[in-house]
């Protein structure tokens, strides 16, 4: 089996060179030096999404940063999520515990998606901000908490799309298609390299036939992540997810509603909503699992220099205030 490259642990010299070029581009073009968002792990997600072709990566990042301004990303944590209580009652989705590899499990039950209601009650920009805030909390809270529990970096998700009792033709037309296209567009263009594996259940012959055609529009790597299952897939899911973690409607024993976003991240997630932020309260946890050794050393030196500067300033003030030292 070929070694997967392009991650923090498996960078080739060429990939590392591209990553550092992108890092320099962010600094020179946008003045970005903070690692809170643009650490090496984040940069590499965009690099892998564009196969480490520098020109393509830069275009993707430019589009992303432009989009961030449009979404008012610096204020996204303040966006009132309580307005989506009714949306969640018309769109059954959420995170539900972790799989056997420690990845958060994201589930959508499509038959409970009322696309007409959603579009009639929420403008496009509001829906996009809902997705943005959700993705930011995934990156900055859910994944770090999964890493804490697993004792290693968990930086990808396991997804389940349940199509039972769904008119498949609606997925490829009308408001359901528009809603799914919006969601997939945000994922592919602005939050790349997060999904690790996905199961589509109760696909049926019609969906499988359509998938056979449209899958060629996707990158081969993405195609391999998506598993189309004609039935309930319980045997397959059991290999990846403990039945105690799976919802009852998927053959498990977990009766907690999807909208609860149940998992080891729950308390930290609630705290972030209360504090109107999308960031974890313990940034040292994030640094421990999502920064490489080089970044940790850079941060150590930065803090050390900052402390020395503060001490020098205090000494200067003390000397100026004590004439005996003159």
Residue-by-residue DSSP string for 238-251: HHHS-TTTSBGGGT
221 found inside a domain: yes
Residue 326 scores a pLDDT above 60:
no
**Full domain range(s) for residue 45:** 1-70
The reply to whether 114 and 242 lie within a common domain is: yes
The reply to whether 44 and 9 lie within a common domain is: yes
Average pLDDT, the chain: 89
In the chain the first and final C-alpha atoms are separated, in Å, by 72
Check residue 86 and give its pLDDT: 81
Residue 3 scores a pLDDT above 70:
no
- Among 192, 243, 261, 245, CA closest to 46: 192
The reply to whether 105 and 52 lie within a common domain is: no
Check residue 2 and give its pLDDT: 46
Give the pLDDT confidence of 117-149 residue by residue, as tens digits.
888 888 888 888 888 999 999 999 999 999 999
The reply to whether 131 and 11 lie within a common domain is: no
Beginning with the edge strand found earlier in the chain, give each strand of the sheet holding 104-109 in spatial order.
93-98, 104-109, 157-162, 195-201, 226-228
| 47: confidence class by pLDDT, cuts 50, 70, 90 | very high
Give the pLDDT confidence of 228-237 residue by residue, as tens digits.
998 899 999 9
Residue 202 scores a pLDDT above 60:
yes
Highest mean pLDDT of the ranges 66-80, 188-202, 300-314: 188-202
Q: Is 154 helix (H, G, I), strand (E, B) or coil?
A: coil
Mean pLDDT of 291-315: 88
For the chain, helix, strand, coil in percent to 5 are 60, 10, 30
> Tokens standing for 179?
């809603």
Least trusted range by pLDDT, from 96-110, 134-148, 269-283, 300-314: 300-314
The reply to whether 49 and 100 lie within a common domain is: no
Check residue 324 and give its pLDDT: 60
The percentage of residues in the chain with a pLDDT greater than 90, rounded to a whole number, is 59
Check residue 322 and give its pLDDT: 64
| 166: confidence class by pLDDT, cuts 50, 70, 90 | confident
Residue 75 scores a pLDDT above 60:
yes
Residue 316 scores a pLDDT above 80:
no
The reply to whether 44 and 170 lie within a common domain is: no
CATH number of the domain within which 216 lies: 3.40.525.10
Check residue 1 and give its pLDDT: 39
The C-alpha atoms of residue 75 and residue 79 are separated, in whole angstroms, by 7
Which of 70, 99, 127 is where one domain is finished? 70
Backbone angles phi, psi at 144, to 5 degrees: -60, -40
The reply to whether 24 and 145 lie within a common domain is: no
The reply to whether 139 and 208 lie within a common domain is: yes
225 found inside a domain: yes
> Tokens standing for 311?
């001490």
> Tokens standing for 201?
């259940």
Mean pLDDT of 191-216: 86
Check residue 321 and give its pLDDT: 64
User: Total structural domains in the chain?
Assistant: 2
Q: Is 98 helix (H, G, I), strand (E, B) or coil?
A: strand
The reply to whether 22 and 139 lie within a common domain is: no
Residue 241 scores a pLDDT above 90:
yes
CATH number of the domain within which 53 lies: 1.10.8.20
């Amino acid at each position: 089996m070929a070694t997967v490259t392009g991650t923090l642990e498996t960078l080739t010299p060429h990939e590392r060179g591209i990553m550092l070029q992108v890092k320099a581009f962010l600094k020179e073009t946008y003045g970005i030096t903070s690692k809170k968002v643009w650490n090496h792990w984040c940069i590499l997600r965009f690099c892998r999404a564009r196969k480490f072709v520098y020109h393509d990566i830069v275009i993707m990042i430019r589009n992303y940063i432009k989009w961030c301004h449009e979404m008012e990303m610096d204020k996204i944590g303040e966006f009132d999520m309580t307005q989506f209580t009714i949306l969640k009652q018309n769109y059954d989705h959420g995170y539900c515990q972790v799989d056997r590899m420690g990845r958060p499990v994201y589930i959508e039950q499509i038959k409970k998606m009322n696309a007409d209601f959603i579009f009639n009650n929420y403008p496009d920009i509001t829906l996009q901000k809902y997705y943005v805030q959700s993705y930011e909390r995934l990156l900055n809270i859910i994944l770090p908490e999964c890493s804490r529990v697993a004792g290693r970096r968990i930086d990808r998700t396991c997804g389940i799309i349940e199509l039972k009792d769904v008119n498949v033709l609606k997925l490829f037309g009308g408001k359901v298609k528009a809603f799914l296209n919006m969601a997939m567009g945000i994922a592919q263009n602005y939050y790349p390299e997060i999904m690790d594996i996905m199961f589509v259940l109760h696909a049926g012959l019609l969906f499988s036939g359509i998938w056979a055609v449209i899958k060629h529009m996707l990158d081969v790597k993405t195609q391999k992540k998506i598993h189309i299952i004609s039935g309930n897939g319980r045997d397959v899911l059991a290999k990846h997810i403990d039945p105690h973690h799976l919802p009852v409607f998927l053959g498990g024993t977990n009766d907690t509603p999807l909208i609860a976003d149940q998992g080891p991240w729950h308390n930290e997630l609630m705290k972030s909503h209360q504090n109107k932020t999308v960031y974890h309260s313990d940034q040292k946890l994030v640094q421990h699992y999502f920064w490489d050794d080089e970044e940790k050393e850079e941060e150590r030196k930065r803090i050390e220099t900052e402390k020395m500067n503060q001490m020098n300033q205090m000494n200067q003030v003390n000397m100026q205030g004590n004439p005996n030292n003159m």
